[in-house]
Structure 1
Amino acid sequence: MGRAEARRARKSPRRARGNKPRKTGIRRFFTWKKLLAYFVTVIALGAGAFVALYLSVDIPNGNSAAKLQSNVYKLDNGQVIARTGDVNRESVPLSKIPEDVRKAVLAAENKDFYSDPGIDFKGTARGILNTVMGRGKQGGSTITQQYVKNYYLSQEQTVTRKVKELIISLKVQQEKDKDEILEGYLNTSYFGRGAYGLQAAARAYYQKDVGDLTLEEGAYLAALLQAPTQYDWAIASDVGKQNAQNRWNYVLDKMVEAKWLDPEKRKAMKFEVPKDPVPPAGLKGQNGYLVEAAKEEVERALKAQGRKESDLAAGGWTITLSIDPKKQQALEKAVQDELTSKLDPKVRKVDAEAQLGAVSVDPKTGQVVALYGGQDYLKHFKSNATREDYQPASTFKPVILASALENKSKTQDGQPITASTIYDGTSERPVKGSPVPYAPPNEDDRSYGNVTVQESMNKSINSAFSQMAVDVGMDKVKKTGVDLGMNGDAGFNTQPAMSLGSMSASPLHMAGVYATLANHGKLVTPSIVKSATQGGVELDRKKPVGDQVVKRTTADDVTAVLKGVVNDGTAKAAIDASQYPVAGKTGTSDDNKSAWFAGYTPDLVTAVGMFGEGPGGKQVPLTGTGGVEGGRVNGGGYPAHVWSEYTSKVAATDTKFDLETDDSGAAAPPPPPPTSAPPSRQPTRSPEPTRSASTPPASPTPNPSRSQHSPTPPTQTPSHSQTPPPPPPPSPSSSSQGDSGGDSSRANRGNDRFPNSN
């Protein structure tokens, strides 16, 4: 090395003693020694902060949630319709709770309770992280932590609350023994039905004291801790019931794993359905149904925010309902005049099995303005307005058409599907392109020959719509149904039988679907809660009117077609469309176990469902109810009459549909006999005496081998430009036969692998 280089090296700041280079810049702060020092410092600071918090946080007194208040349910005019939330808690000593019931709870929630330190650091850290990241409620707490949260803290999901929970749990663990903590937990946990604690739960679900519970019953109550409302057998959906049974099995299996239950005894155990709830006397008549619907909606909103449904049961809420008193009274009177006054259970056993539910919605706001859940909440606690265990039948057919229009679907022959597209209405015609053999009959096995989509909707022709559903694609049809507001988990199997409405739906759901159509394709999720406040703070809820889920032209085209059902179709005999414009659809399910009419004027949507319910909730036929002529109860009978009587009293008469349609054939009435003058292409407001839905233009016995579509379908209204064949013999014209093409009791013949959901 030269002298100059050596001199520069000696002067360089990058050289230290021993000729080693000296670190400069940010690297000076990240030596191994310094990193270790940083780590130790952070640990020390964290430990110091935790010790400071531990010393500063004391075990508080019991929180306000442990001291229940009343909830007030009122109308917008200030009228209070119910007060609920009276204390439903009776603390009992641990010694009065059977040991195997205690172990069932431990198996469900915290199997290692008696050996753990009282806290779950990993689960708490995960909960804090998820709270910071906005992921909502997280599980993983020990029974000690849950007891602390139930009795000493609020249910809010914040980092501060979770840290307090951790510290107080450590202190409680030191000051109380395990039995005392378990006793407190079992007396403060929420089990649904307003019941806090095992004693209250035993009374609510089995009408007995906790000391008389069997292990099977105790395992169900333990299962409820995970999802009290969802697993409540009295109101749970089919999915909820299955999940409740799965959880019940999980609890017992965990007891076997812990050697608390003999495996052979476990195998012999069978799930026992709990008893129905006994509602308080203040909820008589329709009040109970209104309160229950509002309660369920608030609980869904709480759950969406990561809060517990027990927040509502804790009380202190003021809930204002959107019910219009005049419309509510009119709906109740319509049911009385058009149905219940005609029933005589002493004369006809079937009359005692008839149930009716109805929901009326303002499509512009999404608010429920009237709801009918049954004759009396104290006599029939299950609301017929919100129950999801019956099929909507042919009221689902507009969803198929909406899906066809939205997806620009084509027939098997490659023709666009519109209101004027020709389909083969032959009864039991095999569906082309179906993944499984399927040949549904029309009602009474009646065949219609070549018919337009408009005529198929008017007469509710099963064979035409089954083919259309396959043409569109079952997955697409289901997606449209869910987009419009149906429950995709309620038996919504993507098989051809779905085209006949074989899934389950409630009048509330169907009112939402039809309200979305009436609202030009913007999603309407019916809401009975106008506001919900606790301590002056209003609950943040999803708005009832949402985004555009189908194009406006799609919704308006379907509305135009549904006007034809009232003007010239299955609802014509029951509804006078001369007072105001009406669109709607009838429906009659397999074996006549349910009958529907869902319809709307420009300002009001109402869905009416009638159900046959025998002892134990068993579904039974409505046939012969009220001594109806012909026996069969169709959607054009009682449901349409109730709808018409109610709507005639409350709907505006100076309104009209504001439709933007793509399809000029929509709402075209069926063609007249050959000697008649050509009908107007616009739907009529009042039925013409020379045109009858019972005299379709096609032959009743067409050649089954002919193509399902016309090889050259007309571009506008084909039935107007073709000479129709002679009409078939007229069908019965009784209003009880209004759904003349609806689902018959043989609607699944030829498809035994996929039976109707009934």
Structure 2
Amino acid sequence: MGRAEERRARQRGGHRAAPKRRRSTPTGETGGKRPLIRRIFTWKKVLGTFFGLCLLVIAAFIGLYMYVDIPAGNADAQLQSNIYKYSDGTMLTRTGYLNRESVDLAQVPKDVQRTFVAAENKSFYHDSGVDLRGTARGVLNTLMGRGTQGGSTITQQYVKNYYLDQNQTVSRKLKELVISLKLDRQKSKDYILAGYINTSYYGRGAYGIQAAAQAYYRKDAKDLSVQEGAYLAALLQAPNQYDWALASDTGKRLAQARWNYVLDNMVKQNWLDAGKRRTLQFPVPKAPKAAPGMKGQTGYLVDAANGALEKQLVAQGRANSLGDAEALVRKGGWTITLNIDRKKQHQLEQAVKEQLTSKLNPKKRSVDANVQPGAVSVDPKTGKVLAMYGGADYFKHYTNNATRRDYQPASTFKPVILAAALAEGARTQDGQPIAANTIYDGTSGRQVVDHGSKVGFGPPNEDDQNYGPITVQTAMNKSVNSVFAQMGVDVGMDKVMSVADKLGMDTKGMEAVPAQTLGSMGASPLEMAGIYATLANHGVKVTPAVIKSAEHKDSSVTLPDPVGDQVIPREAADTVTSVLTGVVDDGTASDSVAQNPARNGQQVAGKTGTSDNNKSAWFTGYTPGLVTSVGLFGEDSKSHAHVPLTGATGLITAGGGRINGGTYPAKIWAAYTFDAMGSVSKFDLETTQGAAVQPSETPSATLSPSHTPSHTPTSKPPTSSAPPTSKPPTSSAPPTSKPPTSSAPPTSPPPTGGVTDNPLDPGGGQNFGQ
């Protein structure tokens, strides 16, 4: 080491400097260079690109802001007529009457004005007129095809109502944003609020608060109370769903919740005293009145067509909600062709008149004013709704009885239980397959048992009649509640409700409990016609379609195929059909249907139903080419509460004037069907079970029962005076799957399963079997 090096070493602490190392080259790098991606995407370049895009967006928005002017508002001029046609193209009706009367904001009480702000846009009085986050979300949802937007301000909704339209496009949303910003700068908040409440759609054909005040409360806007204003403000979210006259129980709960939300927001904004708020009660609106040009059945048909179209517009993302869709349809310009067959529609109306309404005399019997008939007829091969009866007259009764879902279908639900048993391959708790000839205990009030444990349910049969051991076929014929209550538990109520959903019943919110075996849920004739049409179509799903086509001046709407997929096995559906022929030939519908002189040997399947306290009565039945569901509903003519039908028309029955499904509903069905069906036809069934199956041999008369009924049923034996041509009389050649109880009772004992000692359904009353 030289002196110079020693000196430097001492200065460094006595150590020689280590030799410099060459920096190692990372794997994949050559020549000491950084990776290509790191050289291209440096943080400076990324940040620069981001700011560049931001500047580009800002520049584009400024250009859009300068380019888009506030257009001339001309909403009334945009409204046109809608044209409605029968399936053959002939005119049904034309609508185009606009129910709107604008009022100055000074004519609307201040607290009523504030209900709309509390409902839709609490920051209205101090915002800039737009909700950037909500608009951005709406644009993104539109681009992604979700078709849902939320968060619009009152200013934006007014712009959409008055200056633009309800179509869900990116360009429309951007125009809405720009016009809203400009409008908020140029006009006062009172001007915008007045425009909003005068152009919004409230349902019942009412545009604007003045028309809405008249439609719902029969008063002028200046006379509205704060609680009435809160209901009208709540309506804007879903006019059809929240309309008290049309709403389901769920819809009414949602309407009241929205009403409470509005008033609670007013308290939070210090616009309403908390003490006064606690005293306010929900203001039930008055019954609606029909619009001009909707007399007779026309209004019901138009409403049904509009409802179907509105749902499709929402499904296709062309409207945010049913409320927006309704406004879009009411705006006009549509040509809507229905599947309604003009001839069959007339035949159905005549059948109801001849068999029922001509016999009603409210002046003589007050109960006659409470009878509300409804019916729907469907082609099971195409799903087309061929005829619909909504009520006596749209002017006299606004609610469509064909589509309402607030009455129990009662025993017309029993075929669904059997369909579930067959589709699921279910067995009794004794291990026997459930089939048409399976033996059950038909004792009235018998407790349902689930593998040895009573489930707390034991419904009585109609008139508390005992049957003892009987086949499923006989239980269906006589509509024996105790049998189907036990069968539902044997199958599993979750599976029963699942099959009901597959067949076409709206089971949303329904509990899978044994009481549902009595048909204690709500259902409409349209819904029941769809379920039975799926059975008639061999288990291939049929969704009743009211509309054939819908075309707008700017576009057309693609409608879904009413015929869907196989939802239950064909053999299961065909077996149910086979069993239901017994209800017509030997059961509760035999008097009205089987013995009708116009039957002419036509093969028929169907089921009767009589609900809780005789508040509804049903017959849903079908031939191979026509399915029709008829319901009678007891509705108080003034309060619209559910009331019994008992005593209507002065009918005297074994039930003391009770209107069973086998009386007027079955009579209407037979009068219509045998007139409208065309040629006589037979079912094409793939099954070895049920009353429609031709027996291979006569059962032996030497069979003896191991269990006998507690007493002989008092109902009359099967008739043999008018058997169908496709099935020999049961007295001379009974099917092998169903031995006659008089001469060849079943040999196997009933299952050990059981039906609750509380015979009440969730609605608080028992359902009769028929």
Same fold (TM over 0.5): yes
Residue of 610, 631, 639 corresponding to 1:616: 639
Please report how far the alpha carbon of residue 612 of structure 1 lies from its aligned counterpart in structure 2 after TM superposition: 1.4
SS at match of 1:355: strand
Asked if 2 retains the 8 angstrom alpha-carbon contact of 1:85 and 1:194, the reply is: no
Residue of 476, 483, 488 corresponding to 1:464: 483
Asked if 1 retains the 8 angstrom alpha-carbon contact of 2:698 and 2:736, the reply is: no
Asked if 2 retains the 8 angstrom alpha-carbon contact of 1:600 and 1:606, the reply is: yes
Q: Which amino acid aligns with 2:724?
A: R
Distance 1:388 1:143 in 2: 34
Q: Which amino acid aligns with 1:656?
A: K
Partner deviation per Cα, 1:531-554 (whole Å, 9 max, x = no partner): 111105222222222222222222
SS at match of 2:125: coil
Asked if 1 retains the 8 angstrom alpha-carbon contact of 2:197 and 2:209, the reply is: yes
Asked if 1:337 corresponds to 2:354, the answer is yes
Which is further off, 467-476 or 288-297? 288-297
SS at match of 2:510: coil
Runs of 4+, deviation exceeding 3 Å: 5-9, 12-15, 21-24, 63-67, 662-676, 686-692, 714-723, 751-758
Asked if 1:161 corresponds to 2:169, the answer is no
Distance 2:669 2:247 in 1: 28
Distance change in 2, residues 1:140/1:13 (3 Å): closer
Q: Which residue does 1:735 correspond to in 2?
A: none
Distance 1:637 1:667 in 2: 27
Which is further off, 502-511 or 36-45? 36-45
Q: Which residue does 2:407 correspond to in 1?
A: 390
Q: Which residue does 1:512 correspond to in 2?
A: 530
Q: Which amino acid aligns with 1:633?
A: I
Identity %: 58
Distance 1:305 1:331 in 2: 33
SS at match of 1:531: strand
Asked if 1 retains the 8 angstrom alpha-carbon contact of 2:699 and 2:736, the reply is: no
Q: Which amino acid aligns with 1:520?
A: H
Asked if 1:685 corresponds to 2:724, the answer is yes
Distance change in 2, residues 1:320/1:155 (3 Å): same
Q: Which residue does 2:504 correspond to in 1?
A: 485
Asked if 1:198 corresponds to 2:209, the answer is yes
Distance change in 2, residues 1:130/1:565 (3 Å): same
SS at match of 2:422: helix
Please report how far the alpha carbon of residue 522 of structure 1 lies from its aligned counterpart in structure 2 after TM superposition: 1.7
Asked if 1:543 corresponds to 2:561, the answer is yes
Q: Which residue does 2:583 correspond to in 1?
A: 565
Q: Which residue does 1:706 correspond to in 2?
A: none
Distance 1:141 1:281 in 2: 34
Q: Which residue does 1:34 correspond to in 2?
A: 45
Q: Which amino acid aligns with 1:724?
A: P
Please report how far the alpha carbon of residue 341 of structure 1 lies from its aligned counterpart in structure 2 after TM superposition: 2.1
Which is further off, 514-523 or 460-469? 514-523
Which is further off, 296-305 or 714-723? 714-723
Q: Which amino acid aligns with 2:133?
A: K
Which is further off, 370-379 or 391-400? 370-379
Distance 1:723 1:662 in 2: 19
SS at match of 2:633: strand
**Equivalent residues in 2 for 1:567-586, closer than 5 Å:** 567-576=585-594, 578-586=600-608
Q: Which residue does 2:150 correspond to in 1?
A: 139
Partner deviation per Cα, 1:584-624 (whole Å, 9 max, x = no partner): 00111121111110000000000000111123111111112
Distance change in 2, residues 1:160/1:63 (3 Å): farther
Residue of 650, 655, 662 corresponding to 1:636: 662
Residue of 416, 420, 423 corresponding to 1:403: 420
SS at match of 1:370: strand
Partner deviation per Cα, 1:515-566 (whole Å, 9 max, x = no partner): 1111111221212211111105222222222222222222111111111111
TM-score by length of 2: 0.86
Distance 1:407 1:66 in 2: 58
Asked if 1:93 corresponds to 2:104, the answer is yes
SS at match of 1:575: helix
Residue of 131, 137, 147 corresponding to 1:126: 137
Q: Which residue does 2:682 correspond to in 1?
A: 656
Distance 1:409 1:449 in 2: 22
Asked if 1 retains the 8 angstrom alpha-carbon contact of 2:376 and 2:529, the reply is: yes
Asked if 2 retains the 8 angstrom alpha-carbon contact of 1:454 and 1:666, the reply is: no
Asked if 2 retains the 8 angstrom alpha-carbon contact of 1:579 and 1:653, the reply is: no
Larger Rg: 2
Which is further off, 80-89 or 368-377? 80-89
Q: Which residue does 1:219 correspond to in 2?
A: 230
Distance 2:579 2:29 in 1: 88
Q: Which amino acid aligns with 2:352?
A: V
Count how many residue pairs are aligned between Structure 1 and Structure 2. 704
Q: Which residue does 1:603 correspond to in 2?
A: 625
Please report how far the alpha carbon of residue 346 of structure 1 lies from its aligned counterpart in structure 2 after TM superposition: 2.4
RMSD: 3.1
Distance 1:568 1:598 in 2: 16
Which is further off, 304-313 or 95-104? 304-313
Asked if 2 retains the 8 angstrom alpha-carbon contact of 1:469 and 1:477, the reply is: yes
Q: Which residue does 1:293 correspond to in 2?
A: 304
Distance 1:75 1:6 in 2: 90
Distance change in 2, residues 1:13/1:430 (3 Å): closer
Asked if 2 retains the 8 angstrom alpha-carbon contact of 1:94 and 1:179, the reply is: yes
Please report how far the alpha carbon of residue 487 of structure 1 lies from its aligned counterpart in structure 2 after TM superposition: 2.0
Distance change in 2, residues 1:720/1:586 (3 Å): closer
Q: Which amino acid aligns with 1:641?
A: K
Asked if 2 retains the 8 angstrom alpha-carbon contact of 1:60 and 1:152, the reply is: yes
In structure 2, runs of 5+ residues without a counterpart are: 1-16, 704-717, 748-754
Asked if 2 retains the 8 angstrom alpha-carbon contact of 1:71 and 1:85, the reply is: yes
Please report how far the alpha carbon of residue 83 of structure 1 lies from its aligned counterpart in structure 2 after TM superposition: 2.0
Distance 2:198 2:263 in 1: 22
SS at match of 2:660: coil
SS at match of 1:617: coil
Distance 1:599 1:216 in 2: 46
Distance 2:455 2:362 in 1: 43
Q: Which amino acid aligns with 1:238?
A: D
Asked if 1 retains the 8 angstrom alpha-carbon contact of 2:530 and 2:543, the reply is: yes
Q: Which residue does 1:173 correspond to in 2?
A: 184
Partner deviation per Cα, 1:160-183 (whole Å, 9 max, x = no partner): 211121111111111112111111
Q: Which residue does 1:741 correspond to in 2?
A: none
Q: Which residue does 1:452 correspond to in 2?
A: 471
Distance 2:553 2:763 in 1: 51
Asked if 2 retains the 8 angstrom alpha-carbon contact of 1:66 and 1:188, the reply is: no
Distance change in 2, residues 1:8/1:425 (3 Å): closer
Which is further off, 103-112 or 287-296? 287-296
Asked if 2 retains the 8 angstrom alpha-carbon contact of 1:426 and 1:447, the reply is: yes
Distance 1:66 1:131 in 2: 28
Asked if 2 retains the 8 angstrom alpha-carbon contact of 1:420 and 1:716, the reply is: yes
Asked if 1:189 corresponds to 2:200, the answer is yes
Please report how far the alpha carbon of residue 430 of structure 1 lies from its aligned counterpart in structure 2 after TM superposition: 0.6
SS at match of 2:85: strand
Q: Which residue does 2:8 correspond to in 1?
A: none
Distance 2:567 2:77 in 1: 43
Q: Which residue does 2:493 correspond to in 1?
A: 474
Asked if 1:260 corresponds to 2:271, the answer is yes
Residue of 404, 426, 436 corresponding to 1:419: 436
SS at match of 2:289: coil
Distance 1:201 1:748 in 2: 48
Partner deviation per Cα, 1:610-645 (whole Å, 9 max, x = no partner): 111123111111112212122111111111111111
Q: Which residue does 2:712 correspond to in 1?
A: none
Distance 2:688 2:531 in 1: 21
Q: Which residue does 1:532 correspond to in 2?
A: 550
Q: Which amino acid aligns with 2:254?
A: N
Q: Which amino acid aligns with 1:592?
A: N
Q: Which residue does 1:588 correspond to in 2?
A: 610
TM-score by length of 1: 0.87
Distance 2:431 2:292 in 1: 61
Please report how far the alpha carbon of residue 68 of structure 1 lies from its aligned counterpart in structure 2 after TM superposition: 1.8
Asked if 1:627 corresponds to 2:635, the answer is no
In structure 1, runs of 5+ residues without a counterpart are: 16-20, 698-713, 727-746
SS at match of 2:440: strand
Q: Which residue does 2:514 correspond to in 1?
A: 496
